[in-house]
Each structure stands twice: as structure tokens, then as C-alpha cells.
Amino acid sequence: MRFQTIALSITGLLLLTHCAAPQAVNLKDAGISITFPSEDWKIETQGSRDMVAALSGTEITLYISPIAETSLEMINRDLAIKQTVYSITNSLMSATIAAKEPLTVNGIDFYQIEFTGQTKGTPTVYLAGRAMVLRTARGYLSLIFIGPVEEYRQFESQLPSIINTIKLTE
């Protein structure tokens, strides 16, 4: 009887540990998987190549989007970065853009851009964030973390733990 109780306790503990562990989100057509460091991240929308996720209790949002190729040319790294910068400057008024040193994690090169700006329209909200461009087997992706300036500054220290979970799936 004592053995059965111990076995059930261990099984319950393993099940609890397994359920509590964050699960990887696989964007199979994008060629990456990402694991959020806590259950506080809620996926708002997800396709096979893109995703929008929000950090509960904050206004921090992560956008993962493929960078489309034009019919005339293949996208190269510089063009992918330019398209990401254009997307940011087109979305914000008075955007300030600063390139950061490239970062290599898990064999993936991340080209980083920090930015600030304000929303168009009223009420005006001042935003800050970081965009990253990376290459997968399927093409280039942009990851854009964005939120109100103060919230983003508090959140910014969590970026390395999220970036460390990104893996190429092909």
C-alpha cells in the first residue's frame, strides 16, 4: 500500500511539473519555435507563419511576421532590415530608430533595431520597443516587441530569456 501511495505521489508530481512547464509555440511554416518564459504570455492570434502575443497585465505585445519577398527580387538581409524599419516608421509619428549590435543566439543571427515614437491620432501614446530580423530556412522574419515607454523599459530585461528560447525548426 505504501508503495502505491509513493508511486501515485511521484506520478502526480511529474504530471504537475509537466503541465506547469511552458510549451514551445511552433510556427512551422516560418521555421522557428519559441517558448515564453511564463504563463503570463497569451497568444492572441497565430498562423503557421505569424503570431501576435501579449504579456498579461501589461500593454507589451510581440508581433512575429514574415517579411514578404517581392516578385522582382529575393529578400536579402539589408532589404529585410529596411522593410522592418519602414514598417516601424510608417506606424509611428516622430519615430527615432537606433541600430544595435547584431546578436547570435542558438546559431541564429538577430539584427536589432531599437525605436521610440508616438501613436498617430488621439490620444497620443509614447511607445518604445525593439525589432529583430532573423533568417530561417523559409525566409526572413521580424519580431517586434512594443509597448508604452515605461512598461517597455521595465520589460526590456526579459528579452534575453525570450530570445534564448527561439530555435530553428528546419
* pLDDT tens digits for range 29-78: 888 999 988 889 998 988 877 889 999 989 999 999 988 765 445 678 88
Q: 23-168 has which CATH code?
A: 3.40.1000.10
Q: Does the structure show a pLDDT above 50 at 151? A: yes
C-alpha distance from residue 143 to each of 22, 74, 146, 150 (Å) = 20, 20, 10, 20
Q: Does the structure show a pLDDT above 50 at 79? A: yes
CA–CA distance, 18 with 149 (Å, rounded to integer): 35
Domain ranges of the chain: 23-168
